[in-house]
């Protein structure tokens, strides 16, 4: 019983730890994938921009524009999918940010699940001086994860049965499809 409580507390902590990247209450602004991509696109950096562009996450908004998506949304919410907050929640970032100052000029919700959806809104950590220090980046809003369990918990905030088309989520297989490490050495 006590163990179960601990597991629950751990789950709550990890989930709330990840959520700030997605809720509108955060004080940092979204810059958009093109801004992150200005640096994270070279072979030396690890081609993060290209890997993301070729991933399903880049199409998450476009998916909501398909007849298949509208069929699901109209049945459940009587709205088109792109007008349904319950769909946008997992398919884009930033749609619910009220303070327009927190939306950078290059940010587009059409880019779906983008860098900042997972790494946190980047207005304060995106400059080179901050980025070069992991510690400073984290102080300025970069979300990091301490182990594999936290990484997985982050994915599962979206990859879960609340998704109307949910498919079982195998972390190792799914991470392999989107991994974008900085090359060592
Ligand atoms: C001005 C260039 C620049 C921009 C713009 C930039 N970064 Fe970085 N970023 C870096 C550099 C340099 C590092 C250090 C990486 C390394 O070890 O080579 C870094 C590191 C990182 C790391 C790894 C942190 C760690 O230690 O685990 C992440 C994640 C990251 N950036 C995400 C982003 C995101 C998301 C954006 C857009 C909001 C962004 N970056 C914008 C240059 C940039
Ligand atoms: C903000 C919500 C969100 C988060 C967080 C998220 N995803 Fe996704 N993911 C999606 C959506 C939405 C799709 C479907 C995109 C589409 O097909 O249009 C998707 C699709 C994918 C796909 C392609 C599906 C397939 O079967 O090949 C992979 C792989 C994937 N995600 C891996 C991950 C991993 C690994 C993590 C955690 C590191 C993660 N995702 C975190 C929303 C999310
Ligand atoms: C809890 C997060 C979540 C919510 C809410 C959500 N989705 Fe998704 N959606 C995903 C993920 C993750 C995927 C990719 C893998 C999967 O289906 O599990 C996805 C995939 C899709 C796909 C592609 C399915 C396929 O087989 O390629 C469609 C279409 C879709 N979603 C429509 C919608 C619509 C319409 C809504 C709103 C009624 C919605 N989603 C709400 C997370 C979500
Ligand atoms: C679906 C969520 C997701 C998306 C989208 C995403 N990342 Fe990541 N990223 C992660 C996770 C999880 C890690 C692994 C962190 C770890 O190992 O601790 C990571 C790691 C990184 C690293 C550090 C790699 C290393 O070897 O230290 C950089 C840099 C990075 N991401 C940049 C980006 C950029 C730039 C984009 C957009 C072009 C992006 N990420 C999109 C989840 C994501």
> What ligand has the least distance to the C-alpha of 159?
3
Per-residue pLDDT of 91-110, as tens digits, reads 999 999 999 999 999 999 99
**126 to each of 42, 89, 116, 185, how far by Cα in Å?**
16, 24, 11, 23
- Taking residues 5-17, what's their average pLDDT? 49
The share of the chain scoring above pLDDT 70, in percent, equals 86
- Taking residues 66-81, what's their average pLDDT? 98
Task: Say if residues 85 and 95 touch (Cβ distance below 8 Å).
Answer: yes
- Taking residues 26-49, what's their average pLDDT? 95
Q: How far is CA 34 from the centre of its chain?
A: 15
Rounded CA gap, 42 and 30, in Å? 22
Show the tokens assigned to 59: 């199409």
- Taking residues 152-162, what's their average pLDDT? 97
Ligand 1 centre and the CA of 163: distance in Å?
A: 30
Q: Which atom of ligand 2 is nearest to the CA of 61?
A: 18
Task: Say if residues 143 and 1 touch (Cβ distance below 8 Å).
Answer: no
Would the CB of 9 count as within 6 Å of ligand 2? no
pLDDT at 182: 95
Show the tokens assigned to 11: 């789950």
Q: Which atom of ligand 4 is nearest to the CA of 113?
A: 5
From 94, 118, 154, 175, mutation site for ligand 4 pocket: most ligand atoms within 8 A of C-beta:
118
More confidently predicted of 9 and 114? 114
Task: Say if residues 104 and 12 touch (Cβ distance below 8 Å).
Answer: no
Confidence check: pLDDT of 21 > 50: no
Q: Residue 142 burial by CB count (10 A; 0-12/13-18/19+): exposed, middle or buried? A: buried
- Contact partners, residue 103, CB within 8 Å, separation at least 6: 29, 30, 94, 97
- Taking residues 154-176, what's their average pLDDT? 97
Q: Which atom of ligand 4 is nearest to the CA of 52?
A: 38
**Upper half-sphere CA count for residue 84 (Cβ side, 13 Å):** 20
Q: Which atom of ligand 1 is nearest to the CA of 118?
A: 35
Calculate the average pLDDT of the chain.
90
Ligand 4 centre and the CA of 25: distance in Å?
A: 22
Q: Residue 132 burial by CB count (10 A; 0-12/13-18/19+): exposed, middle or buried? A: exposed
pLDDT at 28: 96
Confidence check: pLDDT of 4 > 80: no
- Within 10 angstroms of residue 75's Cβ, the number of other Cβ atoms is 9
Among 23-32, 33-42, 71-80, where is mean pLDDT lowest?
23-32
**21 to each of 43, 70, 88, 122, 183, how far by Cα in Å?**
27, 27, 14, 10, 25
């Amino acid at each position: 019983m006590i163990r179960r409580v601990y597991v629950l507390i751990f789950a709550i902590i990890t989930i709330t730890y990840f959520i700030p990247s997605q809720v509108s209450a955060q004080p940092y602004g979204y810059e958009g994938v093109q801004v992150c991509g200005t640096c994270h696109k070279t072979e030396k950096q690890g081609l993060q921009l290209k890997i993301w562009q070729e991933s399903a996450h880049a199409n998450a908004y476009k998916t909501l524009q398909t007849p298949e998506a509208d069929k699901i949304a109209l049945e459940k919410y009587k709205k088109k999918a792109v007008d349904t907050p319950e769909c946008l929640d997992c398919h884009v970032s930033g749609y619910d940010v009220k303070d327009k100052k927190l939306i950078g000029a290059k940010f587009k919700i059409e880019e779906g699940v983008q860098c900042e959806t997972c790494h946190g809104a980047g207005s304060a950590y995106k400059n080179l001086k901050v980025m070069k220090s992991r510690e400073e980046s984290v102080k300025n809003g970069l979300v990091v994860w301490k182990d594999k369990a936290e990484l997985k918990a982050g994915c599962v905030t979206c990859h879960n049965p609340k998704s109307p088309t949910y498919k079982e989520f195998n972390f190792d297989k799914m991470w392999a499809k989107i991994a974008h490490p900085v090359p060592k050495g």
